[in-house]
Copies of this chain bind each other. A is one copy, B any other.
Amino acid sequence: MTKPPKRPLTLRDVSEASGVSEMTVSRVLRNKGDVSEATRQRVQDAAKQLGYVPNKIAGALASQRVNLVAVIIPSLGNMVFPEVLSGISESLEGTDLQPVVGVTDYLPEKEEKVLFEMLSWRPSGVIIAGLEHSDASRAMLAQAGCPVVEIMDVDGDPVDSCVGISHRRAGRKMAEAIIEAGYKRIGFMGTKMPLDHRARKRFEGFTRTLAKAGIEIADQEFYLGGSALAKGREMTAAMMARTPNLDFLYYSNDMIGAGGLLWLLEQGIDVPGQIGLAGFNGVELLDGLPRQLATMDACRREVGQKAAQIIAARNRDPSYPPHEIVELSPTLALGQTLVRR
């Protein structure tokens, strides 16, 4: 090891230390072009010796290529998005592409800012959650000059490519399952809507399907922030007090569903005998609950994988067609809380 340098090392330093031209040093460090084994060794030794770290900024500017994929998601606290991320990382593993994450907190203005920020690094691709964006954001995406994949949702009009599930259909399928099982007095709990378009679409698909069967939501409640598990408890307690004759509770996510389930069991309420339950997402957490909560898997990992594959493929092969739309099918898991009655 050498002593801390005042000035960051450059290719030139390695060149001088190894007695090889900058160009050849560059070739060695990128494994590009033919270099004799001897010089390769010399260069690598010199680079390691000095502790040289290449300057990607200069490299990117010169080569007009940046191996970054911008990934823009609403939140990291949700568990859903980390799973999407790991799908993305997985698919990008073999390539030289690297994901860079930006978080919007479900705020369109912040999405705009984050997107602008990321595009100004000229990434090789953009993966962005949702199909709803501000006009400015859509314009930026359209002009980005790189593949764009909108994920998690297919109910809408993508700028370019798109990978996800239909949340309307997911809501519908759940409603159908509930109707078919014979439940009639249904309560709904979820996040406040305007922020979360996918939850809203599920709710729409759900209520419409119920309506067609002549059923109306008997009670509903929406929350914002806080511990989802605790919120699930509270909302369930409140709703059961307000509307005691409910026979089913549909939660817009598994976490509040789990909270509700725990509360109901504690009250000695028979689940699913007296009341049925369902959530949404298929989070791993559920495996540890006293009852297996009915849920619907949102294919989070697969969404991430496929989206990243599209980006990678289009970077590899510019003739790969844009505007690809991939709709994945969420699977319904009835668990132990949605049974025929």
Contacts and interface: CB of A to CB of B under 8 A. Distances in A.
Interface of A: 1, 4-5, 8, 51, 53-58, 60-61, 66, 76-77, 79, 82-83, 85-86, 89, 98, 100-101, 103, 116-117, 119-122, 139-140, 142-143, 145, 226-233, 258-259, 262, 266, 284-290
Contact of A66 (B57, B89, B117): B57
Contact of A143 (B5, B54, B83, B142): B5
A88 to B, nearest CB: 11
A57 B122 contact: yes
Contacts of A57: 57, 60-61, 66, 121-122
Contact of A288 (B8, B122, B228): B228
B139 A1 contact: yes
Given A5-B145, A57-B121, A288-B230, A86 B77 contact: yes
Contacts of A232: 288
Contacts of A53: 116, 119-120, 140, 143
B51 A143 contact: yes
A295 B318 CA distance: 53
A233 B76 contact: no
